[in-house]
Amino acid sequence: MTTSTSSPAASSAAPFRQVTVALAERSYTVHIGHGVQRLLPRVVSALGARKAVVVTARPPEQTPDPKVPSLVVSTRDGEEAKDLAAVTDLCRRFVEFGLTRSDVVVSCGGGTTTDTVGLAAALYHRGTPVVHVPTSLLAQVDASVGGKTAVNLPEGKNLVGAYWQPAAVLCDLDHLTTLPEREWRNGLGEIARCHFIGAPDLDGLPLLDQIAASVTLKAGIVAADERDAGLRHILNYGHTLGHALERATGFALRHGEGVAIGTVFAGRLAGALGRIGPGRVAEHHDVVARYGLPTALPAQVSVAELVELMRLDKKATDGLTFVLDGPDGPGLVPGIPEDTVSATLAAMPREPAG
């Protein structure tokens, strides 16, 4: 993985970053900064693509033009649109447009859009190049990088997916200027959990540096373990409970908010198992709170429901399984007794009802 401080997409007055995800012949660059969306035609040209399908959740004036004959397909961000029906629909649009595996698919939207479009590209002709233009903070710091694509089933989140690395990622900070407060919190949850997996003390940095540090951390982990054989599990820090909370609240709780609460819980559970001391447990709460993120369970969810949902987690191959901090850093801990998990959940503070 390498980083750089120069790019044809930005002037000397506009800082930016480049991060390379080093995967041999499948390596690609994540461009981060204001105006980097303008690089899309150059990326498409380098791929040799003659046609493109642009799947966008943004208005026309914010949707990038790849400068080749294109079909623009409108979509919407949100977990409710992230399912196999959406993937089928996209693949049928690709067929109708005559897209070949030598062409390119472009996603423009938040994390649910990059996930869904990425899976459609992975499946179409058994793999068609995809370029992500993530437009939310969550998508820029996490979802668009690393090649994990997935959609939801009624039984659980991200249960159907594939690994399909993008050809490039263009994290244009101009898209973040209109984000509502909830979307900022959504992305900050992923940044906060970085504190415990290798990128501490990001909360005082400028936004560009926060995004670049998060992407650099993920790029290094993905380069070392592309397919979740070991190290990559640490990227799921806080996610086991986070995903369960999303499902239990009908996605009223956003992903990053769930991860934030899941991070606090991960600290408490690691403490209950004797893996870390009280000071480190408290640090989990304090770091999440510094970002202005929720630290307590929603009032309406039950411990029993959360435990049942966590049994469906992709990592749960040997009972309840969590990524937890420990004396040697974070790691995957399988087979945690249900009574310990339930007791730790029951001891979590609750948001007021109403």
What is the structure's pLDDT at 115?
A: 97
| Type of residue found at 274 | G
Q: Find the mean pLDDT for residues 228-246.
A: 95
What are the distances in angstroms from CA 330 to CA 194, 234, 313, 315, 322? 11, 6, 18, 15, 10
Largest Cα–Cα separation, the chain: 59
What are the distances in angstroms from CA 3 to CA 28, 30, 86? 12, 9, 35
Q: How confident is the model at residue 81 (pLDDT cuts 50, 70, 90)?
A: confident
Mean pLDDT score of the chain: 93
CB-based contacts of 100, cutoff 8 Å, min separation 6: 51, 125, 128
What is the structure's pLDDT at 55?
A: 98
Each domain of the chain, given as residue ranges in start order, spans 3-179, 231-346
Of 14-18, 259-263, 327-331, which gets the smallest average pLDDT?
A: 14-18
List pLDDT tens digits, range 312-343.
876 666 789 999 999 999 999 999 999 999 99
CATH top-level class for 3-179? alpha beta
CATH number of 231-346: 1.20.1090.10
Phi, psi of 21 (to 5 degrees): -90, 105
Sign of CA dihedral 235, 236, 239, 243: positive
What are the distances in angstroms from CA 311 to CA 94, 238, 255, 324? 36, 15, 18, 16
The answer to whether domain 3-179 and domain 231-346 are alike in fold is: no
Query: What pTM, to 2 d.p., does this model score?
Result: 0.91
Strand partners, 150: 161
- The interaxial angle of helices 84-97 and 111-123, nearest 10 deg, is 60
Residue that has been written with the tokens 């420990």 in this structure: 326
Closest by CA position to 186, among listed 152, 137, 224: 137
Closest by CA position to 290, among listed 205, 351, 203: 203
List pLDDT tens digits, range 135-176.
999 999 999 999 999 999 988 889 999 999 999 999 999 999
Residue 12 has pLDDT above 50, yes or no: no
The Cα 133–Cα 114 span in angstroms is 8
